Structure 1
Amino acid sequence: MAGVAVAAVLLFAVAPALLSDFRLNLLAKFICFAIVAAGIGLAWGRGGMLTLGQGVFFGLGAYIMAMHLKIADAANRGDSVPDLMKIAGLRELPAYWVPFTSPVVAILAILVLPGVLALVLGLGVFKRKVKGAYFAILSQALAAAFAVLLVGQPTIGGSNGLNNFRSFFGFSLSDPANRRMLYFIAAAVLIVVVLLVRQLMFSRYGELLVAVRDQEERVRFLGYDPANVKVVAYVAAAFFAGIAGALFVPIVGIISPNDVGVMPSIMFLIGVAIGGRTTLLGPVVGALAVTWAQTSLSEQFPSGWTYAQGLLFIAVVGFFPAGLAGIAALRRRRVVEQPAGEVTDKELEPVKEPV
């Protein structure tokens, strides 16, 4: 809890005082990725599910929010359809756009649809005992198929996606005060998500999830269904990703297939791995650090950042599988195991006389 309290102080007091409006908006974008990372930490770090398809749930929440914002902007201008449909010659909304005219329906869809999709997929996959690399490949293929599907839909922008949002539930997005409000909303959601993940991790369910990760068959013999245990973590991660996607849209101002495909899903995973997937705050810190480094270093080294990111991921996975948080934990454990002044075994070894 101390770490969460420190994070809250940094997000709500230090960052707004020190950062400009532009940098604060960038931090809000990074926080959206950190929300996704917190869910991946639960599913992958505690449950052993290598989720390479979180871009699907992120994109689902993002596109629902984007569709509602485009409809609201059109209504404010007195139009019946968004600007991209007017350019295409459409005079009425497609049937699947109509429900998102209502802000209540849009919010409920953001909260429900990613979780429902994850529930259906999870039951179909885990009940058939698909796991490990097969699950990772399947989830990655799902993200690729979702991106291709979006590209082929001109009514939601095709490969260009949806952009140019003017308002957010009645608040102008051009007002700096409202953009700061979005930052505080994102920061508050991150803190709530971390607390929820903490509750799941350190509850009896969290212990059962770790047991399923380490000894699935033994858990089955004890009378539990490992598939149901995995599904809960998978649905929770999808739920968090959908909320993050919905916040991403008004903060960044655009959503396209490039933001929800295979590469974004891998990016989410890299941050979690570097930060430390088995810890509570490791995935969050890792996601914030990686996205900040990508934005900062890619400005100076546009072609070199991708290689640096790959090398960093390989180094962490190969030499520090517990991530940066694992290195810190190892240092603390060594300090506890060897108090100051204690004589080590090496010091007790007899000194060999030269021959």
Structure 2
Amino acid sequence: MTAHPPVAGVNSLGFDKPPAQTRVVVAMSGGVDSSVVAAKLAQEGYDVIGVTLQLYDHGAALAKKGACCAGQDIHDARRVAERIGFPHYVLDYENKFRESVIDEFADAYLAGATPVPCIRCNERVKFRDLLETARDLDADCMATGHYIQRRMGPEGAELHMAADATRDQSYFLFSTTQEQLDFLRFPLGHLASKDETRALASRYGLSVADKPDSQDICFVPNGNYAAVIEKLRPGAADPGEIVDVDGNVLGQHQGVIHYTIGQRRGLGIGGLGDPLYVVRLDPVARQVIVGPREALSTRIVPVAEVNWIGPGAFQDGPREIMVRIRSTRPPRAAILRPAGPHSAEVELLDPEEGVSSGQACVFYETGGTRVLGGGWIQARR
């Protein structure tokens, strides 16, 4: 289960006792990854309990096959548990999810940010509330199907990028605390490819072996953010002006929520010479501000709510690190300058385009795979 051979007497999850005496709660989304984790641990003899969260109302407006919390996924998780032979529970976390994730997502979007609700879900629901439930069930640890590695270092458990860079989910798990990391396990992080995971699913005879990966945020069907925001916050699509960086009105828009930083297509202001991009959103003035591509370049990135799980104290001073400011972009060199107990200024050695408030800025060690933490990008003042 781990990338390294276990120490004599220590099982594959790091406990000095037989698997049968080691209870592990597996967070099961109904997808192939978490299903394989549960099946593999059960086959190895661990005392497995599967738990699936119902996170939102599965009404016709939001139900979507392939989303991580749709009704079909709960059914799929239950079938896996029945086939392998371990208990499975469905917990109604709908209110927690709305309060902790959906409401903030809507408000952040209306404020002109580009939120990442999957990170908040991990931070505030799965790794907080569900983890406490696992403790209440007297579990020794909780396992998930995330592609990220937990390794033991000289000072305790460390978080590292997945072996398969194309599947790495470290960007979405930067807010994991040291206490949570001590309790969590990620049995798939060392696998070389998703094909290995699907091969294991086939070996265990799981019905989800060929189930497609979910691509969308679970409560945003077909990636239509604006439709969800309009439903949650009526009046959010009020029209306004499209202006250039000098304040000149270039056109009209049908709601700030329909635009994102860096957007070029679909602005409806063609024929004005050089291409224009969305460089800023002002929801108070209901303005979409556009400018030339160079106006998108950012070198200084303010970051708040910093979670530090690297060596030493966060406020030990400036340090050279690597940072990722979008999940789809590779880490890049930067200097991290602490500005308070949980805030910092990140200086990118090479400017980056399309840095957006509400996104995460994740810290990595230079020349290695360790995740040092991260924070939330703030709007420049």
TM-score range, shorter chain: under 0.3
TM-score between both structures, scaled by the size of structure 1 = 0.26
Larger relative helix fraction: 1
Higher relative contact order (CA 8 A, sep 6+): 1
